[in-house]
Amino acid sequence: MANMSYEDSKKLVYKGLVLLAVVTLVEVFFSLLGKGHVIGGLEDITWLGYLVGLILIVLSLYKAYYIIYEFMHMRYEVKGLALSVLLPTVLLIWAIIAFFQEGTSWKNRRQQIEEKDKQELKEDKAKEELEGMRMGKTIEFEYRG
């Protein structure tokens, strides 16, 4: 900032505007492409969905980098300041991995429980049918007790 002329830094700002706008438009285009709005049927291709997701995350991280380094002038700060602000966010990488894995395991557990419930329901029905003949006796027994 300090070693740049006023005109140059003004130009840099409008370059940033164009850059962020274009990246945002590209993001929206890829998002709609992955959901099958641009070319129909693409939403059924699984690997394309993952690829589009990856592209979107990379582009968003690039936008974040540009905002922090150019607009917030992190580029012109002392290295120690940049590190002390940016390094702690590295912890989030582990948080993301851990919580997303946890979420997936909740889903799997719920599915397991649903499947088991269905099985038990079937077994109960089968038992009832088998013991159907003895039903009368059981009720009599319970009545005495």
Give residues in contact with another protein (CB under 8 A): 1, 6, 9-10, 13-14, 16-17, 20-21, 24-25, 27-28, 30-32, 35, 37, 43, 53, 56-57, 60, 63-64, 67-68, 71-72, 77-78, 80-81, 84-85, 88-89, 92, 95-96, 99-100, 102-104, 106-107, 110-111
Instruction: Please answer whether residues 20 and 63 qualify as being in contact, where contact means their C-beta atoms are separated by less than 8 angstroms.
Output: yes
**What's the DSSP call for residue 2?**
T
CB of residue 48 to another protein, shortest distance in Å: 14
Q: Which is nearer to another protein, 7 or 140 (CB)?
A: 7
Token look-up 């009599």 returns 140
Q: Which is nearer to another protein, 5 or 143 (CB)?
A: 5
Distance CA 76, CA 49 (A): 38
Q: Which two tokens stand for residue 6?
A: 């006023």
Q: Which is nearer to another protein, 51 or 135 (CB)?
A: 51
Token look-up 């590295």 returns 90
CB of residue 140 to another protein, shortest distance in Å: 38
Q: Which is nearer to another protein, 103 or 141 (CB)?
A: 103
Residue 92: partners with Cβ closer than 8 Å, 6 or more residues away: none
Token look-up 């492409």 returns 33
